Amino acid sequence: MKKLLSILFVVLATLFAFSCEKNETTKKTNEPEIPVIPEEVVSPEEFEIEINVKDITATSATATATPNGSNRYFFRVITKMELDAFGIYNDDYQIFEYIIENPNSGNWLTSGYATLDCTLAAETDYLAVAFNFENWEAMHLQDDEMKLFRYAFKTPKGAEVDPNSLFSTSDLVTNHTDFNLTVTPSKSDAQWTYYIWTKKSYDETLANEAQANIVMRSYFGLNNIAVEQGYSFGDIIQEDKLGRKGTHTISSYQTLKNNTDYVVVLFYVDPTTTDPTSVYDYNYVAVPFKTVEPSKDNIATLEVSEPVIVADGFKYSVNFLVKTNQYAIDMKVGAQLWGNYEFEKYWDPNDWSQIQAFFLYRTSVEEETLAAAKSAEGATISFPGVDKEDYVFFFEAINEENTPTQFAVRVEPSAFNNVQ
């Protein structure tokens, strides 16, 4: 579990996007007295923190922490969904580990009476947590008793927003791999952008999560696009990329699958924002569309031979003779260990798309290889540096309508007994 948390906490910090800012504890005339905190450091056994959350609205709340000593301590607010993703919501030790292993954990270190002013999402469960910093290492090593202080709360439903008050849309046109949609914002001087979901993912998110998560996850998706292209989130929402002002006709920023249902989500952004965890406005407009069904007379064919395994020192090269026809404009290949994923559960020779999602690192072959695959002789595609293990090899030929023809083959360890 600890290793899993170390790998994924940075991703989740973006995925479950909201923000809490420390507030100076100077007294205002209409506020109650700020508690007086004893100046001495209290022993771990006696240290206590009282957490309260007040002024809860659909989009904000104020969390306070009152310790009984001057100890330094961690204090932050986390979505329940974030903790449930790891199954650690009821595990104080794992929540503690999750927080201290985050490289940004220093942002949540404080002392004395502390206030967090949080910008939140509507209809979402949160957990305010705090723990002593002075003995964090002893708790980490489990030499000291774990004392995690918590306060659970939920934001109410927000006011209904008429989508027509945000954007108007017209002139939707689709083809096999793209769409065009004219968008007019109600705020002519405001910056807006968009993110494309598959309808399946969109519906599943609405069924299982708060509606605000559509925009939160759209921020995360845009940030991924930015990182893949060498940009930052602040770059991707600018007008020279995916940011817009005024009326625009938008299209897809990636090649879409044909005959597939999608939803394009439109929402306003703050062009000065560089942090993908800081959501400007959770309201959005969703426009469904479907790409065109593929033709049946220009399908890319795909022929894959039996594997030929060649010894290469202490490793092996697994080779296939692959052929396709003139309709193929791209060919992608990949390999994964059989045991890495639930291939057996999704293995279906009549529908290889069921396992396609597992091939995250498929790569397109060189143009020369694709040209050779279109010839009568075909092309040899090699997977070098293979160990004597259980593998799945995946092949995909794609035509100009983005219709894939797919094939997968399993090569078990016993196949390596007869090598060339």
CB neighbourhood size of 293 (10 A): 12
Token pair of 22, please? 């420390």
Number of other CB atoms surrounding residue 274 within 10 Å: 11
Same fold for the domain at 163-290 and the one at 303-417?
yes
Rounded Cα distance, 66 and 110, in Å:
11
DSSP states of 183-252? EEESSTTSEEEEEEEEHHHHHHHHHHS-TTHHHHHHHHHHHHHHHHTT--HHHHTSTTTT-EESSEEEE-
CA distances from 195 to 225, 234, 251 (A): 10, 15, 10
CATH number of 163-290: 2.60.40
First to last CA, the chain: 43
Extended beta strands in 58-100, E state: 60-67, 72-79
How is domain 2-154 classified at the architecture level of CATH?
A: Single Sheet (2.20)
Sole residue written with tokens 């080779």 = 319
Contact status, residue 226 vs residue 235, Cβ threshold 8 Å: yes
Which pLDDT score, from 0 to 100, does residue 159 have?
82
Contact in structure between 75 and 14 (CB atoms under 8 Å)? no
Query: Would you put residue 61 in left (φ > 0), alpha (ψ -120 to 50) or beta?
Result: beta
What are phi and psi for residue 373, nearest 5 degrees? -65, -25
What pLDDT does 1 receive? 44
Q: Looking at the DSSP assignment, which residues form a beta bridge with residue 181? A: 250
Tally the C-alpha atoms within 13 A of residue 244's C-alpha that lie toward its C-beta: 22
- Render each residue's pLDDT in the chain as its tens digit; 420 residues: 443 343 333 334 334 446 677 765 444 444 557 788 888 999 999 999 999 999 999 989 999 999 999 999 999 999 887 788 778 999 999 999 999 888 778 889 999 999 999 988 888 899 999 999 999 999 999 999 999 999 999 999 888 888 889 999 999 999 998 999 999 999 989 999 999 999 999 999 999 887 878 998 899 899 999 988 899 999 999 999 999 999 999 999 988 988 999 999 999 999 998 888 778 888 999 999 999 998 888 999 999 999 999 998 889 999 999 999 999 999 999 999 998 777 888 888 888 877 766 666 689 999 999 999 999 999 999 999 999 999 999 999 999 998 889 999 999 999 998 787
Task: Please say whether the dihedral angle defined by the alpha carbons of residues 17, 211, 163 and 168, taken in this order, is positive or negative.
Answer: positive
Ranges of each domain in the chain: 2-154, 163-290, 303-417
CA–CA dist 364, 145 (Å, integer) = 54
Q: How far apart are CA 199 and CA 204, in angstroms?
A: 8
- For 303-417, CATH number? 2.60.40.10
Pick from 186, 48, 66, 58: nearest CA to 115: 66
- The SS3 assignment for 257 reads coil
pTM more than 0.75: no
Are residues 22 and 115 in contact, defined by beta-carbon separation less than 8 angstroms?
A: yes
